[in-house]
Structure 1
Amino acid sequence: MTPPSKELPGSQRPTLAWMLARPERIIGFGLGSGLIHPAPGTWGTLMGWLLWWLLLGRLSDGWIAFILLVSFAGGCWVSQRCGDALGVADYGGINWDEIVAIWLVLWLLPSGFWMQLVGVVLFRVFDIIKPPPISWLDRHCKSGFGVMIDDIVAALYALLVAAILIRLGVLP
């Protein structure tokens, strides 16, 4: 790991100027949503939902799968770079992981506002409470990959619970 950025002394919170200084920081901080406190992860999830509605939701499954793969791989690099610059492997403001994970949820759930809202809420619940193996991944994988993978597992939990609720007739 490289030493923390000299642009951000001590435990100072990243600023807009700091984020805008490097393209990977803009992406890593979810186009600025990671600078919003409290709950930068929730703001990242909401940014991901907005981007879904504006850009991704109308694409073919092949394109969405491709974008998810590239966004995950790029997110590993971006998260690593941001974490190195901050001197904190999984700084809360790095929320590209939430954006990519919510895209996975939104892609695989039935479309419609209410179903997507359920997906967003379920994802946030699992991302916050971190049941195993999410908690294990969060504690032991301190790299860009670790930042990304625990949110993907939270997305899979959200999808599993949504599928069960749909099968039981609780959700349409």
Structure 2
Amino acid sequence: MPPASPDPARRSGARRPGWRFLLAHPAHFIAMGGGSGLSRLAPGTVGTLWAWVAFLAMQRLLSPAAIGWVILAGLPIGWWACTVTARHMRVADPGSIVWDEVIAFWTVLWLVLPAGLLAQCIAFALFRYFDAAKPGPVRWADQLFKPRDDAGKEAPRWAAAGFGIILDDLVAAFCTLLVIALWRAFIQ
């Protein structure tokens, strides 16, 4: 009998994502941030960096109102993509899904900009802190749609899991914006 894999996705029989998986379905491509979620090191951070670059490109092509509409449309599309991808991977919240970081950080940038590079770096650092450390309300949102059965294993309802993937990052974005707003209120 082979030794148990340390990777929970492999133990559960889930697919290990690669380029073939990424390109197998449009939902995978969206949920994995165009491939940024395939990073073996800190996929959430890589996805947030990709979101930052993509936002700066959007900013050159679209008005702030149009970017707002892109973000608004990205929420239900992302929910669908995260749901499908998580279901195909058989994991309620796989680390390779980074659309949640993308849409949440786009929201932060949309509401913070125009701002200089330092302010954008601070927004990035705050968002990554709230997303990774999951203090208080972010942890609550992260666990809200991850029901557990009696044995303690995740028993995902896929649509709820897809929504939950996005929700905690939106709460992290809110916390980021709250800190920035408080900082600006005291500075000015």
Where on the TM-score scale, by shorter chain, does this alignment land: which range? 0.7 to 0.9
Matches within 5 A, 1:35-46: 35-46=38-49
TM-score normalised to structure 1 length: 0.88
Q: Which amino acid aligns with 2:175?
A: Y
Select 1:29's aligned residue among 27, 32, 37.
32
Select 2:176's aligned residue among 134, 158, 161.
158
1: CA distance, partners of 2:93 / 2:64:
30
The answer to whether the 8 Å contact 2:16/2:89 transfers is no
| Greater CA drift, 87-96 or 160-169 | 160-169
Bigger Rg over Cα? 2
Taking structure 1 as reference, are residues 58 and 116 closer, same or farther at Cα in structure 2, changes over 3 Å only?
farther
The answer to whether the 8 Å contact 1:57/1:107 transfers is no
In the alignment, structure 2 segments of 5+ residues that lack a partner are: 1-11, 147-160
Q: Offset of 1:58 from its aligned partner?
A: 5.3
Report the counterpart of residue 74 of structure 1 in structure 2: 77
C-alpha root-mean-square deviation of aligned residues, in Å? 1.7
The CA deviation string for residues 2-35 of structure 1, in whole angstroms up to 9 with x for no partner, is xxxxxxx935521111111111101110110000
The count of corresponding residues between Structure 1 and Structure 2 is 162
Select 1:132's aligned residue among 130, 136, 139.
136
In the alignment, structure 1 segments of 5+ residues that lack a partner are: 1-8
Q: Which amino acid aligns with 2:63?
A: S
The answer to whether the 8 Å contact 2:31/2:81 transfers is yes
The answer to whether the 8 Å contact 2:33/2:102 transfers is yes
The CA deviation string for residues 106-162 of structure 1, in whole angstroms up to 9 with x for no partner, is 111142211111111100000011122211221121411111111011001001101
Q: Offset of 1:59 from its aligned partner?
A: 2.6
Fraction of identical pairs, as percent: 40
Moved >4 Å (runs of 4+): none
TM-score normalised to structure 2 length: 0.81
Q: Which amino acid aligns with 1:65?
A: G
